[in-house]
Every structure is written in structure tokens, then in C-alpha cells.
Amino acid sequence: MTQMNPRITVSYEDTATIVTFTDEKILEEKDVRQLEQSLASLIDQAEGIVLVLDFSNVRFMSSAVLGLLIKVSKRVYEHEGRLALCAIGPKIYEIFKITRLTKIFDIYKDADDAVKRLAEPQ
Amino acid sequence: MKQDRATKKTMLLDSRPEAVEQTRQWLLSQLNQFEYGDDDVFAVQLAFQEAFYNAMKHGNKMDAGKKVKIYFVIDPDRIEISMTDNGSGFDPDAVPDCRIGENLYKTEGRGLLLMRSYMDIVEFNEIGNSVHMVRFPRGTKSHASTARK
């Protein structure tokens, strides 16, 4: 089953919720706020959510998105869930490396890989 | 056809997030005319976005009536952006390192690091309300192998 929100698509695989960002560019504060609201609503609806954020469409983003991801990760952990990121292109991955956010996020090559890894016992 | 003559342009933008989009599009079109490669376009676009966000939010405190002045010089050898806000400035050396300890978990404070990482020169004026950034090309679309990084 796939649901469409303005800037994300949501699909479900096994126990995981896969959120795919649909925009190529995520820049403006209002876009980030909109994403934050959509993600918060998903997380709050599912205690213990296993959430995969898929970046396969994203070609450019600002540091505001990094702030969003920190907020999302806090919310997921408050709800005793698990979070992974996947399909991050090389240019965007460089931003994660520079800011050392590769240390705090689990990043996988694609959604299938992320779902498989999150299904493993912690 | 690839442009050879330098583009010099001054712009005054309102301190509103949506005010930057038209200028960002203009910047992209200029980089395209000079046939800058993807890495340069990505880097300059990111540094520009982060600098504008800092000027608007931290400098002008989101006061839409306050302007951000931007000066571009773009030619085949460099991309230069100067940005000045109406704020009281800051000390860039006093900005905490967002890569260390608890700072890793902060939701803000990464813009300056990204500007410094993606541009070759990042300098502030004495009071810190004006930044001057330069990037030298790593290659063009047609000559990506001339990368100098």
C-alpha cells in the first residue's frame, strides 16, 4: 500500500514504514517544516515505528534538512522506534560526512537493505 | 556558447526565505552559462543557500524589512559571492564545532562548516555581518578531467 503526501510517499514493507522524499531539492524552511509535520504525524501514530527515510530522489538539500533529521531521530527514539536512512547519493552523502552525521545515523544503500538490517535483532 | 566575460551583479533581497529562490535560479543559470561542472554548481549553490539563511535568520532576525545585500562576480576562473546583512555581526571563530560531542545532536549550526568546506575562501569583515566567499573551479562540464582538487 502506498500513500501520497505533498512531499513524501509512504509505503510499508514487513514491519517497516518507508518514507520516500519526492522532491529533488529540499531547501526552504517551509518545505522542511511541512516535512517535519508529515513525519511527526507518522511517528506519533505508530509506537515503536521502524522508519526508513529514502533519499533516492533528493539531489540537493540545505543544512535545514540535517536539523530535521535530528528532530526526527529524537522523536523516533522517544517512541522506542528505529530509524535508518538510505539511497543517499554521493554529493548528499558528502554533506553527512563533513558534518559527521554518518556517526549518528544508520545509512544503507537502498530501502531493501535498510529494511533487512532493521529486521535483525538489536 | 560558453560565456567568457565576467558577470558582476549586486542584488538586495528581503529577509524572507522565499526571496532567495529567484536569485538562486539566476545563479544557477550563470554557472550553466560559464559551463561550470556539477561539483562546482552543487558547492556554490549550497554555500549560497547557507550564507543567505544565516544572514536572514541570525543577522536580520527574520525582519522582512531588513535587506541582505549580495554581490556576485562570476567568470571562468572563479565564483565570488559577498553577502552583507543589517545585523550586529558575530565572531565566526566562536561558533561551536558542530562535529563534536553533544553538538552533533543540535538541530542548527552546520551552515558555516558547510560554507567553509565547499568554498576555497570564506572571510568575514571585522564585525561579522559580511561574508566574502570564493570558489575556484574543479572542472567544467566539457573538461571535468581538469579537476584541480
> Any idea which architecture A2-119 has in CATH?
2-Layer Sandwich (3.30)
Kindly identify which residue of chain B lies nearest to residue A99, measuring between CA atoms.
B99
Is residue B108 in some structural domain?
yes
Q: Which residues of A touch B99 (CB under 8 A)?
A: 99-100
Query: Looking at the 3D structure of chain B, how many domains does it have?
Result: 1
> Which of B18, B49, B56 should we substitute to test contact with A (largest number of A Cβ atoms within 10 Å)?
B49
Question: pTM of this prediction?
Answer: 0.91
Q: Do B110 and A27 touch (CB under 8 A)?
A: no
Contacts of B129 by beta carbon, 8 Å cutoff, 6+ apart: B59, B84, B85, B86, B87, B88, B89, B90
A35-78 pLDDT, tens digit each: 999 999 999 999 999 999 999 999 999 999 999 999 999 999 99
Q: What domain range includes position B56?
A: 7-146
Q: Do B107 and A67 touch (CB under 8 A)?
A: yes
Is residue B1 in some structural domain?
no
Is residue B39 in some structural domain?
yes
C-alpha span between A3 and A19 (Å, rounded): 10
ipTM of the complex in this document: 0.91
CATH number of the domain within which B101 lies = 3.30.565.10
Is residue B2 in some structural domain?
no
Which segments of chain A are extended strands (E)? Answer: 2-4, 8-13, 16-21, 25-26, 50-54, 60-61, 82-86, 107-108
Q: Do B17 and A99 touch (CB under 8 A)?
A: no
A2-36 pLDDT, tens digit each: 554 568 999 999 999 999 999 999 988 888 999 99
Helix, strand counts (H, E) of chain A: 4, 8
Smallest CA–CA separation between B72 and chain A, in Å? 20
